[in-house]
Amino acid sequence: MANSDFSIVIPAKNEAQNLKLLLPELKALYPEAEIIVVNDGSTDDSVSVCEENDVNVFTHQYSKGNGASIKTGARAASHDIIVFMDGDGQHQPKDVSRLLEQLNQGADMVVGARGKKSQASIGRLLANSIYNRLSSWIAGQQIQDLTSGLRVVKKNKFLKFLYLLPNGFSYPTTSTMAFFRAGYSVEYIPIETKERLGKSHINLLKDGIRFFIIIFKIGTLYSPLKIFLPISFGFFCMGLAYYLYTFFTFHSFTNMSALLFMTSVLVFLIGLVSEQVTMLIYKDSEE
């Protein structure tokens, strides 16, 4: 593949010191590639750094989020293949060619999978391990790194799911599960990341809660019944256990047992409706 056949999209917010190192290296390795930096309301010298390195800059007048920057960059990209990488300098430009090579072999999306050594902390490693295991169970496929920001995609397929992507940090999760749900091929290449310069934009408490919500979004995005059915079964078992206890102890059927049984039915019905809605969402994406 010629270097001019792909676009590189980099979302960045106050990453001037990292862009100073990243952009020259990218231009040296891929001189004819289209490089797009989406400036997400930065207050530092990010724009000046981009102009000095002669790359395309699209600026959000205020911070809209990492996912919103990805959307802006994807729409602006002029080539059929898009490389997404973070602006914090952790991704190594040399890995881009490896991902592109794998895409050429028939994949629709290739993701750079980080190993244990590339995780920022023990907490991040534990969280990502949980995400990977849960998403693998839901998708029925081995997902090595659900939240990696380094990925190569075919633009025409990625744009189909643009409306599904959140404006926050969870765009990798949503895009991965959307590709699996649509039956597209997703493959992984092991990578090692570098230590970032400057302060991370991720807040442990705030984003920890948000990532916990993502766990449920993963299931409802891909196969809602895989989430709702076990919950429904759990309520049913609690209702049955409580009913047997009150029957043999007091010879009665209590309101609590009735409430647990009704909750079980309602959760199951919500799961069925969610499954139908999900099917309609992906049906529309094919049109």
Task: Calculate the CA 186 to chain-centre distance.
Answer: 13
State the amino acid at position 220 in one-letter form: T
One domain for residues 99 and 198: yes
Measured between alpha carbons, how far is residue 225 from residues 9, 63, 214, 270, 286 in Å?
35, 35, 16, 9, 22
One domain for residues 132 and 247: no
Give residue-wise pLDDT tens across range 216-231.
777 777 788 888 999 9
Complete edge-to-edge strand list for the sheet that includes strand 56-60: 56-60, 34-40, 6-12, 81-84, 151-154, 109-114, 186-191
CA quadruple 18, 130, 115, 120: dihedral sign:
positive
One domain for residues 41 and 77: yes
One domain for residues 196 and 240: no
Average pLDDT over residues 156-172: 87
DSSP letter at 170?
Answer: T
Residue 251, pLDDT > 70, answer yes
**φ, ψ of residue 168 in degrees (nearest 5):** -90, -150
pLDDT of residue 216: 74
Contact 120, 194 (CB under 8 A): no
Range of the domain at 243: 224-285
Domain stop point among 172, 195, 221: 221
Domain stop point among 183, 204, 221: 221
Of 2-11, 57-66, 230-239, which gets the smallest average pLDDT? Answer: 2-11
Average pLDDT over residues 230-241: 96
Residue 206, pLDDT > 70, answer no
One domain for residues 266 and 206: no
Residue 1, pLDDT > 50, answer no
Residue 270, pLDDT > 80, answer yes
Average pLDDT over residues 190-199: 77
- The helix or strand, by DSSP H or E, that contains position 7, with its residue range, turns out to be strand 6-12
Domain stop point among 169, 188, 221: 221
pLDDT of residue 3: 46
Measured between alpha carbons, how far is residue 60 from residues 30, 71, 109 in Å?
26, 12, 27
In angstroms, the CA 63 to CA 18 distance is 18
DSSP letter at 93?
Answer: T
Pairing state between β 56-60 and 34-40: parallel
One domain for residues 26 and 42: yes
One domain for residues 51 and 120: yes
| Number of domain units in the chain | 2
One domain for residues 79 and 182: yes
Average pLDDT over residues 50-76: 94
pLDDT of residue 207: 61
- pTM, two decimal places: 0.80
Helix, strand, coil in percent for the chain, rounding step 5:
55, 15, 30
In angstroms, the CA 49 to CA 22 distance is 10
Mean pLDDT of the chain: 87
In angstroms, the CA 192 to CA 136 distance is 22
Residue 260, pLDDT > 90, answer yes
One domain for residues 65 and 134: yes
Give the start-end residues of each E strand in 107-237: 109-114, 151-154, 186-191
Considering only residues 284 and 244, tell me which one the structure prediction assigns the higher pLDDT. 244
One domain for residues 264 and 214: no
State the amino acid at position 214 in one-letter form: I
CATH number for the domain spanning 73: value is: 3.90.550.10
Residue 69, pLDDT > 80, answer yes
**% of the chain residues with pLDDT over 90:** 57
One domain for residues 243 and 130: no
State the amino acid at position 252 in one-letter form: S
One domain for residues 15 and 120: yes
Give residue-wise pLDDT tens across range 98-139.
999 999 999 999 999 988 776 655 666 777 788 788 888 888
